[in-house]
């Protein structure tokens, strides 16, 4: 291997990094499809499983009256217990608890097809001019799966029904004093997770300065799963558990914020070209972000969509769009890959987009509208603008909503969703397709979400509790990481 090849490999890994930066904690996050060629069927299949859980999940309780959502597209490595042990968990902006598979668990997955990018920094290679140099070698490896064993951790504690945490997830008559607080989650696609809650230390990397971290332990409550079924145990996407970033008091962001007296704010900036970006928990100093209100008392991040235009020409919203007290019906979900619209809105949108181009659409893999095209799509097709409450606009460019399936063949990422609420009203679901290349900030305390266009392969500035501001940049942090293709920072 010559030096130029080595540098190209390292550059490819750097571009695949996703960073999570904040004033307090940092940990690495990897995209589910990292190291794979993303097939359209895989994207649609992932979203279908997720939506079956999300929409059916609107009325399914977690231990009585709390709900859980599906796993997301991103997974991270965290450390639990004393001594700390590594676990790979899905990062999910929709669910409300952290849970991992626990011993004994006869039906938990024992292997996975998910890959993680490895950087081996202690290898010396000899080049043609007979000198040795430290280089980084990129390897794709299957992530190891582990079972959490409470008996092997000196800091593990049981969570009883009398614990305050249990009151968040259980109805008063569902759990008796002196008994262990348990959970049972059933998803719309038949997947299920059962277990009990435990307390133990999670070890994260505390941000101590610009690109400097130090390990710090924090006690949290999480689910200890003893039985998983359905898609949760499938080999193609199995991990050790799920880490929820939902709005409830039981979510990992709420626990970390409460323990350290911090605001419940997190953000992400997803790079749809290189598969990486930034994921931060805590206050973002820059870029500046404008906000729109979240619809209150919803399980997901629902916002109020006021209108859509294509290159300045309005597209009528269907009257069947779901409403919450007269507003709402649009869900923002970073765990979904594409963007799903009611059928009539989907048809109208594509007609507006293609009105000025003589293209012939044909269907690929039964659901994707595709066409042949040899010109610059950003110049040939219009920008789609989504308008939300409080005059917040989200612009979706052709390079965002079009996939290049192969040379000169493009497909639309807009999908005819057919997604409905419990009352049969339509739902719009906006996934990574529209969220990419934007810094999206969720402020749970103020019940708002906002965004700003941003280069997600660059840096953001975050503020810690003392008011100090640090710059976080993905390409810089990976040099000190030994096993990740992306990073996530937590406040």
* Known catalytic membership, residue 333: yes
- Cα angle 460, 270, 21 (rounded to 5 degrees) comes to 35
Is 408 annotated as catalytic? no
Spatial contact of 375 and 450, defined as CB atoms under 8 Å apart: no
Name the catalytic one among 69, 92, 189, 443.
92
User: What phi and psi, each to the nearest 5 degrees, are found at residue 62?
Assistant: -105, 115
How far lies 172's CA from each of 65, 167, 176, 255, 345, in Å? 10, 7, 8, 22, 44
Q: Name the DSSP class of 16.
A: T
Which 3 state secondary structure label does DSSP give 351?
helix
Cα separation, 341 vs 427, whole angstroms: 7
Q: DSSP 3-state assignment of 288?
A: coil
Strand bridging mode 192-209 / 25-27: antiparallel
Instruction: Provide the pairing of β-strand 241-244 with 212-229.
Output: unpaired
Phi (first) and psi of residue 96, to 5 degrees: -120, 5
- C-alpha–C-alpha distance, residues 203 and 100, integer Å: 15
Residue 317 DSSP one-character state: P
Residue 142, exposed/middle/buried by CB under 10 A (0-12, 13-18, 19+)?
exposed
Structure tokens at 233: 């145990």
Active-site pick, 163, 200, 271, 333: 333
Q: Name 53's Cβ contacts closer than 8 Å, sequence gap at least 6.
A: 69, 70, 187, 188, 189, 191
Fill in the DSSP letter of residue 455: -
Burial 15-36 (b: 16+ CB within 10 A, else e): bbbbbbbbbbbbbbbbbbbbbe
Which residues are known catalytic residues?
Answer: 92, 333
């Amino acid at each position: 291997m010559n030096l130029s090849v080595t540098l190209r490999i390292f550059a490819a890994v750097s571009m695949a990094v996703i960073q999570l930066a904040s004033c307090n904690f940092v940990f690495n996050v990897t995209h589910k499809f990292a190291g794979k060629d993303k097939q359209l069927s895989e994207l649609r299949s992932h979203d279908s499983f997720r939506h079956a859980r999300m929409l059916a999940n609107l009325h399914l309780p977690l231990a009585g009256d709390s709900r859980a959502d599906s796993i997301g597209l991103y997974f991270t490595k965290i450390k639990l217990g004393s001594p700390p042990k590594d676990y790979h968990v899905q990062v999910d902006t929709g669910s409300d608890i952290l849970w991992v598979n626990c011993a004994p668990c006869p039906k938990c997955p024992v292997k996975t097809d998910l890959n993680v990018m490895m950087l081996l920094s202690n290898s010396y290679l000899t080049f043609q001019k007979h000198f040795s140099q430290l280089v980084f070698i990129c390897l794709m490896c299957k992530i190891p799966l582990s079972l959490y064993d409470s008996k092997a951790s000196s800091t593990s504690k049981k969570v009883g029904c009398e614990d305050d945490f249990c009151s968040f997830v259980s109805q008063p008559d569902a759990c008796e004093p002196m008994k262990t607080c348990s959970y049972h989650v059933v998803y719309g696609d038949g997947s299920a997770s059962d277990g009990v809650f435990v307390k133990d230390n999670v070890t994260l990397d505390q941000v101590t300065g610009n690109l400097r971290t130090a390990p710090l332990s924090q006690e949290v409550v999480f689910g200890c799963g003893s039985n998983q079924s359905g898609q949760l145990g499938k080999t193609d996407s199995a991990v050790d558990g799920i880490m929820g970033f939902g709005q409830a008091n039981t979510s990992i962001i709420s626990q970390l914020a409460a323990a350290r007296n911090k605001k419940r704010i997190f953000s992400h900036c997803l790079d749809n070209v290189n598969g990486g970006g930034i994921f931060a928990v805590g206050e973002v100093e820059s870029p500046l972000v404008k906000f729109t209100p979240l619809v209150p008392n919803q399980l997901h991040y629902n916002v109020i969509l006021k209108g859509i235009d294509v290159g300045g020409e309005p597209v009528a919203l269907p009257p069947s769009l779901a409403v919450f007290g007269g507003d709402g019906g649009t869900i923002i979900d970073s765990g979904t890959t594409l963007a799903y619209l009611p059928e009539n809105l989907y048809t109208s949108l594509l007609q507006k987009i293609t009105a000025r181009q003589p293209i012939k659409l044909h269907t690929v893999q039964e659901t994707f509208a595709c066409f042949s095209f040899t010109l610059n799509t950003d110049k040939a097709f219009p920008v789609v603008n989504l308008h939300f409450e409080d005059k917040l606009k989200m612009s979706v460019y052709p390079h965002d909503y079009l996939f290049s399936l192969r040379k000169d063949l493009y497909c639309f990422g807009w999908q005819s969703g057919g997604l409905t609420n419990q009352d049969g009203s339509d739902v719009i679901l906006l996934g990574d397709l529209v969220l990419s290349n934007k810094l999206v900030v969720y402020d749970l305390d103020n019940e708002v979400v906002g965004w700003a266009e941003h280069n997600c392969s660059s840096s953001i500035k975050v503020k810690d509790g003392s008011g100090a501001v640090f710059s976080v940049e993905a390409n810089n942090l990976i040099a000190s990481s030994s096993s990740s293709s992306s990073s996530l920072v937590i406040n």
